Chains A and B, each alone.
Chain A
Amino acid sequence: MAKLVKGVFLGILNVVFIWTALFLYSSEAYLVLVLLLLGAALVNFVFISERAYPYRYLLPAAFFMILLVVYPIVYTVYVSVTNYGTGNILTKEQVITQLQERRILDAEAGNYTYQAYRDGEGQLWFVFTGPQGELLLGHAGELTPVQEGDARLARLAEFTELARADLVRATNEISALSFALDEARQLQMRNINYFGVYRPQYQYSRERDELLDLESGIIYQPVLGYFQAPDGTRLTPGFREIIGFHNFSKLLTNPQVTGPFIRVFIWTVQWALLSVATTFSVGLFLAILLNDPHLRLRRFYRSVLILPYAVPAFISALIWRGLFHTELGVINRVLQATIGSGVPWLQDPVWAKVALVILNLWLGFPYMMIVCLGALQSIDVEMYEAALVDGASSWQQFRHITLPLLMVSVGPLLISSFSFNFNNFSVIYLLTRGRPPIVGAQTPAGHTDILISYTYRLAFESGRGVDYGLASAVTLVIFLITGAITFFNFRFTGALEEVRKNV
């Protein structure tokens, strides 16, 4: 039975592999194809060989770890040293192709009407009529001036003349053609009715890696992802290129970025600390209440208290946004009715921060409560009995038994919660969008922007459009900061484990 299941499973997996491989082969993604085949071979080996048994479980984990964690990090590092963003998304080859295809219509030369014929071998022949009524016979890229009644024209009668529908079907073929009118100009399809006279605009020289403007003679050279003229004029589109540590140096030297950085950083740390402290203390408090065996309807309370966690955060955030509205929100109406004045929740920098902490408390306390409930169950009741015998007060019990023992299991979660809130983009963005704005500020950062929401602004509201390169650079900096903080935090919990030994 188990073998059958394994066989079917492996079969299905192989179908998926083969299908993907064929798809990759047809789209010429050979590098990915090779990686896929290697992966497929590995999977088959692991499942067929008995010795590789443990890897059956490790392999999927490793696979998803690489796919969802390692690959994005590597890719972010890569993007941070490129100029990827609006105006620089194509490869250099694609840009050269596009620029070389640019042509200038010689409007004064007028339009050429045409008739097309196909000979017995499927070759195309054209008769062009110029604006002055001159006739040109076109075939295989060459034009021959002809007169009415020329024998060469008479020959065309033996070929099949293309009707309009045939022309439409053959547009891809016809539009690829080009007939040399003179040294510089070509006759090319303008639309289904006419040919026009065109000159190419640029010529690329592969040896010198530069682009010549045939019109003005200006030479464009590749600089930081653009073909650039000596006077600094850039041609669009630009291309995607590795530009080294340019993005990082921009981060360090641009006053628009560095100016608010410290202020944003301080608020980010405050925000993460406040979030963890408030959610944990409320969660713990409720958990202790719910853990009391004398409490009636415990299950009911527990279910109700978990509700905020069950409602999707963005719905709660939008509801809270309405509740906090200064003039029309329920909170201010209640305040107005009771104490006679409202609070400028989302307009005042301090109150906006308070509003954020309240919202995050609402969203976060159920999680802490669940975690604490579980941890409280695991504390040995005998310890409390012993403490009672020793005459400890309930505060002392909490302080010396409950909290230290709780910290052992909950501590690492608090750290991860800290890191999570450090980058808690959605709550900030949904409630305040980083606002209120700072009076007189020269940067787009607002009072409640944390590092990650600030990054978002830098990346998506830059003057050139979207700047993925810069955003990746900032992301890496944030990653380093969060990483360092988490590292120190874990050292700190290491100290907590010592406490356990002493209990």
Chain B
Amino acid sequence: MKKVAALCLVFVLALALSLPAAASVPGELLIWSDGERAPVLTAVARKFVAEYGISVKIQELPFGDIRDNLAIVAPTGEGPDIIVGAHDWLGQLVTDGLIEPIDIEDPSLFVQSALDAFTWGGQYYGIPYAIESIGLFYNKDLVGEDGIGSFEELEELTKNELAPKGIYGLVLPQPDPYHTFPFFSVLGGYVFGFDEEGALNALDVGLANAGAVEGFEYFEKLLDEGVIARATPYDTMMSLFQNGQAATMMTGPWAFGDVRAAGVNYGFTQIPSYKGQFGKPFLGAQGFMVSAFSENKMLANIFLNEFVATKDTMLAIYEGDPRPTAFLPAAEIINEDPDMRGVMEAAEKATPMPQIPAMNSVWTAWSDAIELVINQQAAPKAAIENAVETIIQTIRDSM
């Protein structure tokens, strides 16, 4: 008798524990969000429930884990309906067959470059909420209120005023293609060209064209002249700028916290010009995407178009984590914050970072070329030409 009772107890316990696992269920939305966006989405979800009686669950994941987890979980039918993500995931997610085109009701409400970033094969795959790019932090005490307009100006200033005091003109993370790209793009270099249909062509790598080489040679010149501090990883770069040993720093809005914490009298603006041209940094866009394995694709579209692409939600997203908004009706809020205005200015000059999976094979070879130049082991032209050959070979091999 006792045994039977014990067994019953075991069964009851087991049943109580067998709660339903979170998954895309028809008639109920599940969103994978990062921590910054989750509180905003939770509030929006409450409105959606109140309006339509359809429940929306928010599951919090670290931003960087969302893409990889989607690839593992979605095909088993356990995944979400909507994810928060970055535009450069697009290529991988689309070729994997994991996300679905989105019907954006009014594209004119969004910053064009953000829409471009979320476009693949002529279709929108995401509703963007923020854009960002790197720009120039400058120390007002060292270069003046208005910052630096051109690299030529920075060179002069370093030679005449900063260098004698042992201060570097510019610091940036090295070797880091992402941060060095403006030197390549300023005179016409690009990562991937476009084919006739307007899609990125993985076999047209423009990192070693005449403009790119000239820009890269200028980068080397700045290193040799001591304008740019040599071989600084991110944290070294940061401490040089924080301690006033570098007058300007090329990096993105994620650095605001560290710079403010150090009490530097700083400004943020777009990257200086060279020969009258502005180097385009990479644009990053973040947005919401719909899973191809969602059981509620239409519902997800309604939720995103009616409840997320609104001024209120976009402002709340901005307040939760200030990054330049990709939603034009909310854009005026940026004017209240000089930092954000600077980021917006920089982002307007930016070009979307290529989203195609072939980008994966660009970084290392490119970074190696930059490192060889920093280490003075190769000339810019030879290094980058060799890197481009390697990149094209790697991409061709995997086709």
Contact = CB atoms under 8 A, between A and B. Distances in A.
Nearest to B96: A89
B44 interface: no
Nearest to B17: A19
A254 B94 CA distance: 28
Nearest to B232: A328
A317 interface: no
Interface stretch (B152-160, B250-258, B355-363): B355-363
Interface stretch (A187-195, A301-309, A378-386): A187-195
Contacts of B386: 440-442
A327 B230 contact: yes
B365 interface: yes
A169 B105 contact: no
A464 B97 contact: no
A42 B71 CA distance: 35
Interface stretch (A91-99, A153-161, A395-403, A477-485): A91-99
A444 B365 contact: yes
A439 interface: yes
B368 A171 contact: no
Contact of A435 (B10, B202, B368): B368
A192 to B, nearest CB: 5
B126 to A, nearest CB: 16
A326 interface: yes
A335 interface: no
B15 A446 contact: no
A436 B53 CA distance: 59
Interface string B374-398: 0101100011001001100111111
Q: Contact residue range for chain B?
A: 35 or more
B60 interface: no
B361 A86 contact: no
B298 A464 contact: no
A172 interface: yes
Interface in A455-487: 457, 460-467
Given A15-B17, A191-B103, A465-B92, A171 B390 contact: no
B108 interface: no
Nearest to B295: A172
B296 A171 contact: yes
A168 interface: yes
A23 interface: yes
Contact of B298 (A22, A175, A237, A254): A175
A340 B395 CA distance: 46
B194 interface: no
Given A27-B78, A171-B298, A446-B368, A464 B399 contact: yes
B299 A254 contact: no
Contact of A256 (B98, B232, B394): B394
A91 B96 CA distance: 11
A22 B360 contact: no
A250 to B, nearest CB: 8
Contacts of B296: 171-172
Given A89-B75, A463-B395, 6 more contacts: A27-B21, A87-B96, A236-B94, A325-B233, A435-B371, A464-B95
21 contacts: A11-B6, A11-B10, A19-B18, A87-B95, A94-B97, A171-B296, A171-B302, A191-B305, A236-B94, A327-B229, A437-B368, A441-B386, A442-B389, A444-B364, A444-B394, A460-B360, A461-B361, A462-B361, A463-B357, A463-B361, A464-B399
Interface of B: 6, 10-11, 13-15, 17-18, 20-21, 26-27, 51-54, 71, 75, 78, 91-92, 94-98, 103, 105, 202, 229-233, 235-236, 292, 295-299, 301-302, 305, 357-358, 360-361, 363-365, 368-369, 371-372, 375, 377-378, 382-383, 386, 389-390, 393-399
Interface of A: 7, 11, 14-15, 18-19, 22-23, 26-27, 86-87, 89-91, 94-95, 98, 165, 168-169, 171-172, 174-175, 189-192, 236-238, 250, 254, 256, 321-322, 325-328, 344, 347, 435-437, 439-444, 446, 457, 460-467
Q: Which 3 A-B pairs have the closest CB atoms?
A: A237-B97, A437-B368, A463-B398
